Structure 1
């Protein structure tokens, strides 16, 4: 079984490039809407889909996700990305926090030497960490 995750956001062309750089991903299978935004864009790492991105046409929902982080609350769901090295977490954190909101700044927890919680500029809630099994 595999859990599929799709980020429904605005500005998907920019976002796909942003996430590719932040997480070391490449663009996989993709389809575009007539306006050039992504209907579906698979983001891959080591040949496996990590998540997909799709242009949201629901401005109210996008704004709700963005505003929840400003109020200090957490949505009912987040996306977790585990990296093998602290440098990868730090790079992702710097990119995600720029224009976003850090809910738990980069630091350590009992199960991870390096982790953070961030809502990025697209309103997506991320938990990024060093995989405890790689420490």
Structure 2
């Protein structure tokens, strides 16, 4: 079966957030549609992102849109990244954490892998690991 699971993030600045992830993780914005592309859209939301697809960290896909109302930060979901080597993972951990909050330092854990987690400046929790 050709099934794929893609996180869909609601954002107060989807375009800025996607650009931050492209810069931190590598990748590219594949699709960006604004509400203004739909006939009859109110002027106040015409520049808001209706749908955005961004490929990051290899071939991983995130989808996003701007919120039209205040939404609470959801702390029950984390995005996990696993890298092949410690140095690359450590670099990504630092980049994703810029302007955010480092929760657990990236260091070797008792189970033998390197691990750290953080909340980025957009409120998304990331877990970064490496062997």
Decide which structure has the larger Cα Rg and report it.
Answer: 2
Structure 2 Cα separation of the partners of residues 86 and 46 of structure 1: 15
Show the counterpart of 2:8: 6
Show the counterpart of 1:108: 108
Unaligned ranges ≥5, structure 2: 37-45
Instruction: Look up the SS of the partner of 1:121 in the other structure.
Output: coil
Structure 2 Cα separation of the partners of residues 44 and 2 of structure 1: 13
Q: CA RMSD in A?
A: 2.2
> How many matched pairs?
119
Show the counterpart of 1:29: 31
- What TM-score do you get using the length of structure 1 for normalisation? 0.74
More helix by share: 1
1:128 Cα deviation from its structure 2 partner: 1.4
Distance verdict in 2 for CA 1:28–1:47, change over 3 Å: farther
Structure 1 outlier segments of 4+, above 3 Å: 45-49
